[in-house]
Every structure is written in structure tokens, then in C-alpha cells.
Amino acid sequence: MFKKQIFNFSLLALLLSMGAQAQPEEYTEITTSHQRFGDWIVRCEREKGKDKECVMTQQITSQSTGMSVLQANFAKTEQGTQMTLIFPLGIFLPPGVELEVVDHIKANYSVSFCSASGCYVNQILDNEMLEFLRRKEQANITVYSSPDNPVTVPFSIKGFLDAHRKL
């Protein structure tokens, strides 16, 4: 018991001393910009002294409920173009997600994780898929609400090429 009290006191003293040594954070200037390209919005942030970071995004909502059914985000990384798709909770996970550039190419992706804000697909796109997204205007994303119930969400890729160039 006595050792536990000493440990707790030591931990408290350590935490307090760390707080006493903490320096106030410097003010960091961040500039933001937004541009629309077709059905895509490119949002960029630049922290003073650092490179600009941009993401292109499109929010798809249900016409009947007004609720979000898909948020599609794309960003350039060292590994290539990162696609992040965010779906509402409640999708059936085992079949994953199918991305189809209408009448041209299909690819299946696994759901990476789910959190309180939704279920996420994170994927670096291969060059073939990226080229079709740049050249076409319509794509479909299919998820499952149950094992036998696919739900296809059409989304526009109009403006994808110009938005992707701005990344």
C-alpha cells in the first residue's frame, strides 16, 4: 500500500514538473483555400514554412433523406493517389466495396475500419483506375446493406482530372 502511494505521488510530481516546464506553443499561421472543379471541391492548407497539402472531395447525399451516403476524398501521397471513401455505419463489411468507372473498369476494396463517424475504405489507386477516373464522368460505388442486398451509389467524376491536377 505504501509503495503504491509513493508511486502515485511520484507520478503526480513528475506530471506537475512537466507542466511547469511546458512552453507556450507558438502561433502557427495556416492559410486555406477552396476551389470547385466540376463536382469536386479541392481544399488546401498551407502552414507557414511547409508544403501545401490538398484534398479533393465530393459529398453524396440521399435525395430522399438528405443524409450523407458517401464522402469520396482523394489526395496525393508519396505512395501515389490515396482514395478514402467514407460510408455511414451499417454497411455489410465482408464483400467490401466495388468501384466501377461505368462500362470500363471495376475494382474491389476492403473496408479498412469503422468508427463513430462511419466506415472507411483507404486505398492507393493503381494507374489504370486513376486514368479511367481522369477521363470519364460517371462512376458507381456498390456496398452491401446485407449479404443479398447490394446498394449502388452513382457519383460524378466530372471535373476529376482538373481537381486531381490541383493536388
The pTM of the full predicted model, rounded to 2 decimals, is 0.79
Does residue 69 form part of some domain?
Answer: yes
Q: Which cell numbers hold the place of 147?
A: 449479404
Average pLDDT of the residues in 135-149: 94
Does residue 9 form part of some domain?
Answer: no
Alpha carbons 165 and 102: distance in angstroms, whole number = 22
Quote the pLDDT of residue 125: 96
Query: Considering its fold, how many domains does the chain have in total?
Result: 1
**Helix, strand, coil share of the chain (percent; to 5):** 20, 50, 30
Residue numbers of the domain that contains 134: 25-166
Q: Of 23-27, 42-46, 119-123, 129-133, where does mean pLDDT reach its minimum? A: 23-27
Contact 61, 67 (CB under 8 A): yes
The CATH number of whichever domain residue 159 belongs to comes to 2.60.40.1880
